[in-house]
Amino acid sequence: MPALSQEEILRNFTEEIFRDGILQESDSIGANDETLLRFLRARKFDIKQAKVMLANCQQWRKTVEGVGIDELYRRIDPFDYPEREAVFQCWPMWFHKTDKKGRPLNVHFLGGMNIQRLHKACTPEKHWQTVLVNAESLTREILPAASRKAGHEIDTVFVVVDLKGFSVSQFWQMKGLVQKSFQISQDYYPETMGQLAIVNAPSSFTFIWSMIKPWLSKETVAKVEVLGSDYEKVLLNLVDEDCLPSVLGGSCKCEGLGGCHLSGVGPWLEDRVGWGPKAAAANVVRDADTKERVSLDSVGKSDLMVRETSLKDIVVPVSV
Protein backbone atom coordinates (compact mmCIF):
# COMPACT_ATOMS: atom_id res chain seq x y z
CA MET A 1 0.00 0.00 0.00
CA PRO A 2 1.54 3.34 -1.04
CA ALA A 3 2.37 5.85 1.69
CA LEU A 4 -0.13 8.64 2.19
CA SER A 5 0.81 12.13 1.10
CA GLN A 6 1.03 14.92 3.68
CA GLU A 7 -2.19 16.37 2.27
CA GLU A 8 -3.99 13.06 2.82
CA ILE A 9 -2.57 12.72 6.33
CA LEU A 10 -3.75 16.25 7.14
CA ARG A 11 -7.21 15.47 5.82
CA ASN A 12 -7.45 12.27 7.88
CA PHE A 13 -6.06 14.03 10.97
CA THR A 14 -8.61 16.82 10.63
CA GLU A 15 -11.50 14.37 10.29
CA GLU A 16 -10.40 12.37 13.34
CA ILE A 17 -9.85 15.27 15.73
CA PHE A 18 -13.22 16.81 14.89
CA ARG A 19 -14.93 13.43 15.09
CA ASP A 20 -13.37 12.69 18.48
CA GLY A 21 -14.20 16.12 19.88
CA ILE A 22 -10.58 17.16 20.32
CA LEU A 23 -11.11 20.30 18.25
CA GLN A 24 -14.06 22.52 17.41
CA GLU A 25 -14.27 25.32 14.87
CA SER A 26 -14.68 27.94 17.60
CA ASP A 27 -11.60 26.91 19.60
CA SER A 28 -9.11 29.76 19.98
CA ILE A 29 -6.17 27.51 19.16
CA GLY A 30 -7.30 27.70 15.55
CA ALA A 31 -8.94 25.08 13.38
CA ASN A 32 -7.01 25.98 10.24
CA ASP A 33 -4.64 23.77 8.28
CA GLU A 34 -1.59 25.77 9.35
CA THR A 35 -2.23 25.11 13.05
CA LEU A 36 -2.88 21.41 12.54
CA LEU A 37 0.20 21.04 10.36
CA ARG A 38 2.36 22.34 13.21
CA PHE A 39 1.23 19.46 15.41
CA LEU A 40 1.67 16.94 12.62
CA ARG A 41 5.19 18.18 11.87
CA ALA A 42 6.09 18.00 15.54
CA ARG A 43 5.16 14.32 15.51
CA LYS A 44 6.59 13.53 12.06
CA PHE A 45 3.08 13.16 10.59
CA ASP A 46 2.17 10.32 12.92
CA ILE A 47 -1.58 10.91 13.31
CA LYS A 48 -1.91 8.95 16.56
CA GLN A 49 0.91 10.83 18.28
CA ALA A 50 -0.24 14.18 16.89
CA LYS A 51 -3.74 13.55 18.24
CA VAL A 52 -2.34 12.91 21.73
CA MET A 53 -0.24 16.05 21.51
CA LEU A 54 -3.19 18.19 20.39
CA ALA A 55 -5.49 16.70 23.03
CA ASN A 56 -2.95 17.44 25.76
CA CYS A 57 -2.59 20.97 24.42
CA GLN A 58 -6.33 21.53 24.45
CA GLN A 59 -6.54 20.30 28.04
CA TRP A 60 -3.73 22.65 29.04
CA ARG A 61 -5.41 25.57 27.30
CA LYS A 62 -8.60 24.96 29.26
CA THR A 63 -6.96 24.59 32.67
CA VAL A 64 -3.68 26.57 32.78
CA GLU A 65 -3.38 28.79 35.87
CA GLY A 66 -6.79 27.53 36.96
CA VAL A 67 -8.62 29.72 34.43
CA GLY A 68 -7.45 28.64 30.98
CA ILE A 69 -5.41 30.54 28.41
CA ASP A 70 -8.39 32.42 26.92
CA GLU A 71 -9.36 33.95 30.25
CA LEU A 72 -5.72 34.63 31.12
CA TYR A 73 -5.31 36.45 27.80
CA ARG A 74 -8.39 38.54 28.57
CA ARG A 75 -6.94 39.48 31.94
CA ILE A 76 -3.40 40.27 30.73
CA ASP A 77 -2.81 42.09 27.46
CA PRO A 78 0.78 41.14 26.50
CA PHE A 79 1.26 44.61 25.01
CA ASP A 80 -0.27 46.59 27.86
CA TYR A 81 -0.25 45.52 31.51
CA PRO A 82 0.83 47.55 34.56
CA GLU A 83 4.07 45.68 35.25
CA ARG A 84 5.17 45.46 31.61
CA GLU A 85 7.97 48.03 31.80
CA ALA A 86 9.42 46.47 34.95
CA VAL A 87 9.27 43.01 33.37
CA PHE A 88 10.93 44.13 30.15
CA GLN A 89 13.69 45.94 31.99
CA CYS A 90 14.59 42.94 34.18
CA TRP A 91 13.60 40.04 31.90
CA PRO A 92 13.70 41.43 28.33
CA MET A 93 11.72 39.31 25.87
CA TRP A 94 9.99 41.18 23.07
CA PHE A 95 8.73 41.10 19.49
CA HIS A 96 10.06 43.72 17.10
CA LYS A 97 9.18 44.13 13.41
CA THR A 98 10.04 41.35 10.93
CA ASP A 99 13.03 39.88 9.08
CA LYS A 100 13.52 39.78 5.32
CA LYS A 101 11.37 36.65 5.08
CA GLY A 102 8.52 38.37 6.87
CA ARG A 103 9.04 36.39 10.07
CA PRO A 104 8.51 38.25 13.35
CA LEU A 105 11.74 39.09 15.13
CA ASN A 106 11.77 37.87 18.75
CA VAL A 107 14.59 39.44 20.77
CA HIS A 108 15.95 38.23 24.10
CA PHE A 109 18.59 39.95 26.25
CA LEU A 110 19.73 37.99 29.30
CA GLY A 111 22.93 39.58 30.56
CA GLY A 112 21.11 42.20 32.67
CA MET A 113 18.40 39.81 33.83
CA ASN A 114 17.67 40.31 37.54
CA ILE A 115 14.89 38.16 38.96
CA GLN A 116 15.13 39.49 42.50
CA ARG A 117 14.68 43.06 41.31
CA LEU A 118 11.88 41.99 38.98
CA HIS A 119 9.92 40.31 41.77
CA LYS A 120 9.86 43.54 43.75
CA ALA A 121 7.68 45.01 41.02
CA CYS A 122 5.92 41.87 39.78
CA THR A 123 5.10 38.73 41.75
CA PRO A 124 6.58 35.43 40.50
CA GLU A 125 3.04 34.23 39.74
CA LYS A 126 2.19 37.30 37.67
CA HIS A 127 5.53 37.15 35.87
CA TRP A 128 4.92 33.54 34.84
CA GLN A 129 1.48 34.51 33.58
CA THR A 130 3.04 37.24 31.44
CA VAL A 131 5.38 34.61 29.95
CA LEU A 132 2.34 32.50 29.09
CA VAL A 133 0.39 35.30 27.40
CA ASN A 134 3.54 36.32 25.54
CA ALA A 135 3.77 32.77 24.16
CA GLU A 136 0.07 32.81 23.29
CA SER A 137 0.38 36.13 21.49
CA LEU A 138 2.69 34.53 18.94
CA THR A 139 0.03 32.26 17.43
CA ARG A 140 -2.98 34.39 18.36
CA GLU A 141 -1.78 37.77 17.03
CA ILE A 142 1.86 37.94 15.93
CA LEU A 143 2.04 35.27 13.23
CA PRO A 144 -1.43 35.97 11.73
CA ALA A 145 -0.57 39.68 11.45
CA ALA A 146 2.83 38.91 9.89
CA SER A 147 1.07 36.66 7.38
CA ARG A 148 -1.39 39.40 6.42
CA LYS A 149 1.48 41.84 5.99
CA ALA A 150 3.54 39.46 3.87
CA GLY A 151 0.57 38.34 1.77
CA HIS A 152 1.38 34.69 2.40
CA GLU A 153 1.60 32.28 5.30
CA ILE A 154 4.22 33.11 7.96
CA ASP A 155 4.25 30.34 10.54
CA THR A 156 7.58 30.73 12.31
CA VAL A 157 9.55 33.36 14.20
CA PHE A 158 13.21 34.38 14.03
CA VAL A 159 14.66 34.45 17.56
CA VAL A 160 17.82 36.38 18.51
CA VAL A 161 19.27 35.73 21.96
CA ASP A 162 22.01 38.11 23.10
CA LEU A 163 24.17 36.59 25.85
CA LYS A 164 26.58 39.48 26.40
CA GLY A 165 27.34 39.67 30.11
CA PHE A 166 25.36 36.53 30.87
CA SER A 167 26.83 34.56 33.77
CA VAL A 168 26.47 31.06 35.16
CA SER A 169 25.00 32.54 38.35
CA GLN A 170 22.27 34.22 36.28
CA PHE A 171 21.62 30.94 34.51
CA TRP A 172 21.02 29.19 37.84
CA GLN A 173 18.58 31.98 38.80
CA MET A 174 16.50 31.49 35.68
CA LYS A 175 17.08 27.78 35.01
CA GLY A 176 13.68 26.62 36.26
CA LEU A 177 11.75 29.28 34.39
CA VAL A 178 13.66 28.70 31.17
CA GLN A 179 13.08 24.96 31.32
CA LYS A 180 9.34 25.51 31.90
CA SER A 181 9.24 28.01 29.05
CA PHE A 182 10.87 25.57 26.63
CA GLN A 183 8.43 22.87 27.71
CA ILE A 184 5.43 25.15 27.14
CA SER A 185 6.71 26.19 23.72
CA GLN A 186 7.52 22.69 22.48
CA ASP A 187 4.40 21.00 23.85
CA TYR A 188 1.72 23.64 23.25
CA TYR A 189 3.15 25.94 20.54
CA PRO A 190 5.14 23.45 18.44
CA GLU A 191 7.05 24.26 15.28
CA THR A 192 6.84 28.03 15.69
CA MET A 193 10.56 28.77 15.81
CA GLY A 194 12.10 28.96 12.38
CA GLN A 195 15.60 30.04 13.38
CA LEU A 196 17.51 30.88 16.57
CA ALA A 197 20.66 32.98 16.53
CA ILE A 198 22.73 33.18 19.72
CA VAL A 199 25.08 36.17 19.80
CA ASN A 200 27.78 37.28 22.23
CA ALA A 201 28.03 33.84 23.80
CA PRO A 202 30.33 33.99 26.88
CA SER A 203 33.09 31.50 27.65
CA SER A 204 30.67 29.74 30.00
CA PHE A 205 28.24 29.07 27.14
CA THR A 206 29.56 25.54 26.54
CA PHE A 207 28.49 24.57 30.06
CA ILE A 208 25.18 26.43 29.82
CA TRP A 209 24.40 24.81 26.46
CA SER A 210 25.17 21.37 27.88
CA MET A 211 22.42 22.02 30.44
CA ILE A 212 19.88 23.46 28.00
CA LYS A 213 20.34 21.12 25.04
CA PRO A 214 18.66 18.08 26.68
CA TRP A 215 15.50 20.16 27.13
CA LEU A 216 15.18 20.67 23.38
CA SER A 217 14.01 18.42 20.61
CA LYS A 218 16.52 17.44 17.93
CA GLU A 219 14.54 19.51 15.44
CA THR A 220 14.88 22.60 17.62
CA VAL A 221 18.60 22.09 18.20
CA ALA A 222 19.10 21.93 14.42
CA LYS A 223 17.68 25.48 14.14
CA VAL A 224 20.22 26.98 16.56
CA GLU A 225 23.20 28.95 15.25
CA VAL A 226 25.87 30.34 17.58
CA LEU A 227 27.33 33.50 16.02
CA GLY A 228 29.67 34.75 18.75
CA SER A 229 30.57 38.44 18.85
CA ASP A 230 31.07 38.90 15.09
CA TYR A 231 27.38 38.64 14.28
CA GLU A 232 26.22 41.99 12.88
CA LYS A 233 26.80 41.22 9.19
CA VAL A 234 25.02 37.89 9.57
CA LEU A 235 21.99 39.50 11.19
CA LEU A 236 21.89 42.29 8.61
CA ASN A 237 21.80 39.67 5.86
CA LEU A 238 18.66 38.33 7.51
CA VAL A 239 17.02 41.51 8.81
CA ASP A 240 16.76 44.93 7.14
CA GLU A 241 18.80 47.57 8.94
CA ASP A 242 15.75 49.69 9.77
CA CYS A 243 14.03 46.66 11.31
CA LEU A 244 16.97 45.50 13.42
CA PRO A 245 17.36 47.22 16.83
CA SER A 246 20.46 49.40 17.05
CA VAL A 247 21.69 47.35 20.02
CA LEU A 248 22.07 44.43 17.60
CA GLY A 249 23.77 46.38 14.82
CA GLY A 250 20.74 47.83 13.05
CA SER A 251 19.51 51.42 12.88
CA CYS A 252 16.13 51.12 14.61
CA LYS A 253 15.79 52.86 17.98
CA CYS A 254 11.98 53.25 18.10
CA GLU A 255 12.44 56.83 19.21
CA GLY A 256 9.27 58.26 20.70
CA LEU A 257 7.97 54.75 21.35
CA GLY A 258 9.85 54.00 24.55
CA GLY A 259 12.72 52.25 22.77
CA CYS A 260 12.70 49.03 20.77
CA HIS A 261 12.29 46.86 23.88
CA LEU A 262 9.01 48.54 24.87
CA SER A 263 7.53 49.57 21.51
CA GLY A 264 6.27 46.13 20.46
CA VAL A 265 6.24 47.61 16.97
CA GLY A 266 5.22 45.35 14.11
CA PRO A 267 2.23 44.53 11.89
CA TRP A 268 0.48 42.95 14.89
CA LEU A 269 -0.20 46.43 16.31
CA GLU A 270 -1.82 47.79 13.16
CA ASP A 271 -5.27 46.44 14.02
CA ARG A 272 -5.11 47.60 17.64
CA VAL A 273 -6.89 50.89 18.27
CA GLY A 274 -4.53 53.51 19.66
CA TRP A 275 -1.39 51.52 18.85
CA GLY A 276 1.45 51.82 16.41
CA PRO A 277 3.99 54.56 15.66
CA LYS A 278 1.44 57.23 14.72
CA ALA A 279 -0.61 56.64 17.85
CA ALA A 280 2.46 56.55 20.06
CA ALA A 281 3.83 59.74 18.53
CA ALA A 282 0.51 61.41 19.31
CA ASN A 283 0.75 60.18 22.91
CA VAL A 284 -2.35 58.04 22.59
CA VAL A 285 -2.81 56.13 25.84
CA ARG A 286 -4.98 53.03 25.97
CA ASP A 287 -7.19 52.16 28.93
CA ALA A 288 -6.07 55.17 30.94
CA ASP A 289 -9.19 55.07 33.09
CA THR A 290 -9.07 51.37 33.88
CA LYS A 291 -5.40 50.55 34.33
CA GLU A 292 -2.92 52.00 36.77
CA ARG A 293 0.71 52.15 35.88
CA VAL A 294 2.86 50.16 38.29
CA SER A 295 5.08 52.36 40.44
CA LEU A 296 8.77 51.70 40.05
CA ASP A 297 9.65 53.84 43.07
CA SER A 298 9.67 50.87 45.42
CA VAL A 299 12.18 49.10 43.20
CA GLY A 300 14.40 52.04 42.45
CA LYS A 301 13.68 53.87 39.24
CA SER A 302 17.34 54.28 38.45
CA ASP A 303 17.77 50.51 38.64
CA LEU A 304 14.93 49.71 36.28
CA MET A 305 15.25 52.43 33.68
CA VAL A 306 17.64 50.76 31.28
CA ARG A 307 19.01 53.14 28.72
CA GLU A 308 19.05 52.19 25.04
CA THR A 309 22.84 52.00 25.08
CA SER A 310 22.90 49.55 27.97
CA LEU A 311 20.52 47.04 26.44
CA LYS A 312 23.46 45.22 24.86
CA ASP A 313 24.26 44.03 28.35
CA ILE A 314 21.08 42.12 28.77
CA VAL A 315 19.23 38.16 27.74
CA VAL A 316 15.94 35.25 28.07
CA PRO A 317 13.72 31.99 27.13
CA VAL A 318 12.64 31.17 23.62
CA SER A 319 9.64 30.14 21.52
CA VAL A 320 10.34 26.75 19.97
Q: Per residue of the chain (320 residues), give pLDDT as tens.
A: 568 899 999 999 999 999 999 999 999 999 999 999 999 999 999 999 999 999 999 999 999 999 999 999 999 999 999 999 988 888 888 999 999 999 999 998 888 788 888 989 999 999 999 999 999 999 999 999 999 999 999 999 999 999 888 888 888 888 888 889 889 999 999 999 999 999 998 888 888 888 888 888 888 888 889 887 889 999 999 999 999 999 999 999 999 888 998 898 999 998 786 554 444 443 333 333 333 333 333 344 333 333 333 333 333 344 45
In one-letter notation, the amino acid at residue 117 is: R
Helix (H, G, I), strand (E, B) or coil at 104: strand
Residue 119 neighbours by CB distance under 10 Å:
16
Q: How far apart are CA 77 and CA 84, in angstroms?
A: 10
Is this model's pTM higher than 0.85 or not? no
The residue length of the chain stands at 320
Q: How far apart are CA 19 and CA 144, in angstroms?
A: 26
In contact, 159 and 197? CB cutoff 8 Å: yes
Contacts of 234 (CB under 8 A, 6+ apart): 197, 227
Q: Which residue segments constitute the domains of the chain, with CATH numbers given?
A: 6-69 (1.10.8.20), 81-313 (3.40.525.10)
